[in-house]
């Protein structure tokens, strides 16, 4: 019996000493495992005389029970301690300032930056942002915009067509953001003032063209809107966007099916060595197409051309970014080279606004 007592003292002491769940498991195996001390003693019961067994049986079972209880209790304590230690080591001081690293690591893509810049400028003039799907019907992309059926302009757009549907119709990847004009005019009442930035697609690829590119459309529809308003809006935009006080602009007659009259707009610039200075100078850069919304387009949207007039414009966001930030090759915008993004990208917390500055 005293042998059992000292064994119990020894095991309980080992349990108390175990300072981790793994150490405690070792103690359990040494006592109650298949070859543990208590298990070995249990095996001897069979060879005992009935009298001895009558005494040793309950004694061993009692020992086994007490050791089991002690192991369980110690396990709970160790679990609790481990959790406390983990919580302590994982505390996070939310009052600490942001680490410099995370601010300088990530970069905002120039297209996202320029989209935010122009959104801030037009929002300041009272324009809302409208959006439409990248996959369009022929109706929104062409027909409603007054492209006659089989007109060469449909081909000029180098359209990506989706496979023909059962009814013979074909969806297209939108070739411009102009379909969002139609979606806006058919879902909102004038006065309308929106810009529509987004992705556009044409089957074209060289230094200044990629199959996917970005445009921003502008649309104003209201009674009495005229070309003077259009010129003012575009001039204010160009001055704010290129961050110059004066900008020379030239409106050249052009043709788009959805505007009449139609114009292309050039801004003055000067090339000094490799640098391109925007605003003044004897050179011209084409930056956008625009015009007064064609009466047929208004009619297609159930608007009365005798009551409402409007103007619209469309320009390439990628081209604006290239001009403003001096990036020579459009293809580099989309090939995911981190070195390019580290160089031309913008700090994420530097959100462009008219008060804080657009690009500084």
Q: How far is the CB of 206 from ligand DAH (least distance, A)?
A: 17
Q: Report in angstroms how near the CB of residue 270 gets to ligand DAH at its nearest.
A: 26
Of 127 and 256, CB closest to ligand DAH: 256
Q: How far is the CB of 167 from ligand DAH (least distance, A)?
A: 27
* Nearest residue to ligand DAH, scored by beta-carbon proximity: 314
Angle (CA) 153-155-159 rounded to 5° is 115
Contact call for residues 234 and 288 (beta carbons, < 8 A): yes
Q: Considering the complex, what minimum distance in angstroms separates the CB of residue 318 from ligand DAH?
A: 13
HSE on the CB side for 321, CA within 13 Å?
Answer: 27
Contact 246, 280 (CB under 8 A): yes
Measured between alpha carbons, how far is 321 from 41 in angstroms, rounded to an integer? 84
d(CA 327, CA 274): 12
Q: Which is closer to ligand DAH, CB of 15 or CB of 173? A: 173
Q: What are the DSSP E strand ranges found in 177-237?
A: 192-201, 212-222
CA pair distance 230, 293, nearest whole angstrom: 11
Beta strands in 172-258 (DSSP E): 172-173, 192-201, 212-222, 249-256
* Closer of 217 and 318 to ligand DAH (Cβ): 217
CB atoms under 10 Å from CB of 105, counted, come to 11
State in angstroms the smallest separation of the CB of 263 from ligand DAH: 8
**Shortest Å, Cβ 105 to ligand DAH:** 36
Least separation in angstroms between CB 231 and ligand DAH = 13
CA atoms within 13 A on the CB side of 180: 29
Q: Which pairing describes strands 192-201 and 128-129: parallel, antiparallel, or unpaired?
A: parallel
Nearer to ligand DAH, 107 or 202 (CB): 202
Q: Select 238 or 290, whichever has its Cβ closest to ligand DAH.
A: 290
Compute the least distance from the CB of residue 218 to ligand DAH, in Å: 7
Q: Are the C-beta atoms of residues 290 and 173 closer than 8 Å to each other?
A: no
Cis peptide leading into residue 203 (ω within 30°): no
How many C-beta atoms surround the C-beta of residue 21 within 10 A?
Answer: 13
Q: Among residues 24 and 230, whose Cβ is nearest to ligand DAH?
A: 230
Q: Would you say 114 or 312 has its CB closer to ligand DAH? A: 312
Q: List contacts with ligand DAH (CB under 6 A).
A: 176, 178, 217, 256, 259, 289-291, 312-314
The nearer residue to ligand DAH, 147 or 333, going by C-beta atoms, is 147
């Amino acid at each position: 019996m005293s042998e059992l007592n000292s064994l119990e003292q020894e095991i309980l002491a080992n349990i108390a000493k175990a300072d981790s769940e793994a150490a405690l498991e070792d103690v359990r195996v040494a006592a109650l495992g298949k070859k543990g001390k208590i298990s070995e003693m249990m095996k001897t019961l069979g060879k005992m005389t009935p009298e001895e067994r009558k005494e040793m049986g309950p004694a061993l079972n009692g020992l086994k029970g007490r050791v089991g209880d002690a192991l369980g209790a110690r396990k709970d304590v160790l679990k609790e301690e481990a959790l406390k230690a983990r919580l302590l080591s994982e505390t996070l001081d939310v009052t600490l300032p942001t680490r410099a690293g995370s601010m300088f690591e990530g970069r905002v893509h120039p297209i996202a930056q320029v989209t935010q810049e122009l959104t801030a400028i037009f929002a300041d003039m009272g324009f809302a942002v409208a959006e439409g799907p990248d996959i369009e019907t022929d109706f929104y992309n062409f027909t409603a915009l007054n492209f006659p059926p089989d007109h060469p302009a449909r081909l000029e757009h180098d359209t990506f067509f989706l496979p023909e549907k059962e009814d013979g119709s074909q969806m297209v990847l939108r070739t411009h953001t102009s379909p969002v004009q139609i979606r806006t005019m058919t879902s909102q009442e004038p006065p309308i003032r929106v810009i529509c930035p987004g992705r556009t697609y044409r089957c074209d690829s060289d230094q200044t063209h990629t199959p996917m590119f970005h445009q921003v459309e502008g649309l104003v529809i209201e009674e009495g809107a005229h070309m003077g308003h259009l010129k003012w809006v575009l001039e204010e935009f160009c001055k704010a966007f290129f961050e110059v006080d004066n900008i020379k602009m030239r409106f050249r007659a052009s043709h788009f099916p959805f505007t009449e009259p139609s114009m292309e707009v050039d801004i003055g610039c000067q090339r000094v060595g490799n640098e391109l200075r925007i605003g003044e100078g004897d050179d011209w850069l084409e930056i956008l197409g625009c015009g007064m919304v064609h009466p047929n387009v208004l009619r297609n949207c159930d608007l009365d051309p005798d009551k409402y007039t409007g103007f619209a414009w469309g320009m390439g966001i990628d081209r604006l970014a290239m001009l403003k930030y001096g990036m020579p090759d459009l293809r580099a915008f989309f090939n995911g080279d981190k070195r390019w993004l580290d160089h031309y990208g913008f700090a994420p917390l530097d959100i462009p606004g008219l008060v804080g500055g657009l690009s500084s």
